[in-house]
Amino acid sequence: MSTAPFIVTTQDQLRAQIQAWKMQGERIGFVPTMGALHAGHLSLIHQAKQHADKIVASIYINPTQFSEGEDLGTYPRSEEKDAKMLCEAGCDLIYIPTGSLYGEHHATSLHVGGAALGLETDYRPHFFGGVALIVTKLLNRVQPDVAVFGEKDYQQLLTIRRITSDLDIPVEIFGAPIVRENDGLAMSSRNQYFDTKGRAIAGQLNIIMRSCAQEISETRNIKHATDTAIDALLEAGFTSVDYVSVADAVSLEVLPHSLGDNEARLLIAATCKGVRLIDNCAID
């Protein structure tokens, strides 16, 4: 039977508990979230438990990664339900900050390059600066030994690895495999925005992505496969496609024509019924 985790709301409470655990020789794992949890988030907790003795999760909807017109004001909030799910998954400490993590005179921002350039940045130029800032702040507050991020946000995962390396933050970053619905749609807190028709269309994303990846694997020809995938998404009912791209799995440099010998990743962003979805998969 799970033991209820501590819920703390201040930095002092957070650090006091973590310091106590560290004095006992405990290894700390960390999973940052924005709440509205699903099985994909819980898989991150399970992954963290493989590498640490005590698991900390945070719930904080970070305003700096939203731009005007995005869903900051309507992003799903369910803290009581989230806390229960984290407890059942074996989380030991939940950090739910009261108020903003950005003080009245906050004046620092982070510029990120490398894997953060292109793809998402072409459509959401604010996003990785906001992610870099909040992840750095949370890692500094929690001071974990390991942190786990989902591979659904593959570009984000590589960006966070670059941030922690460049800024000498002493934490090991692990990626966790994508958790999917029965029809293959990657789990996301925003999936609950769909009506029945929109959800049926969204379920085609993984099917089209897998078909594209298979064609690239067999032919090594990127452009024909990605153009075909874009057409298939629009025919399936997606209203727009931001990108269907193949990139080096380590550097995330986009490979425009031929696969060659690179270890590669297929990455997709498309909008269905007003909901923007991202997904990715390895190319064998």
Q: Which residues are catalytic?
A: 41
Question: If residue 200 lies in a helix (H) or strand (E), which one and from where to where?
Answer: helix 196-202
How many other C-beta atoms can be found within 10 angstroms of the C-beta atom of residue 103? 8
Q: Distance between alpha carbon 175 and the CA centroid of its chain, in Å? A: 10
Q: What phi-psi label fits residue 280: left (phi over 0), alpha (psi between -120 and 50 degrees) or beta?
A: beta
For residue 260, the 8-state DSSP code is T
How many other C-beta atoms can be found within 10 angstroms of the C-beta atom of residue 230? 19
C-alpha separations of 258 from 96, 120, 219, 244, 247 in Å: 46, 22, 9, 14, 11
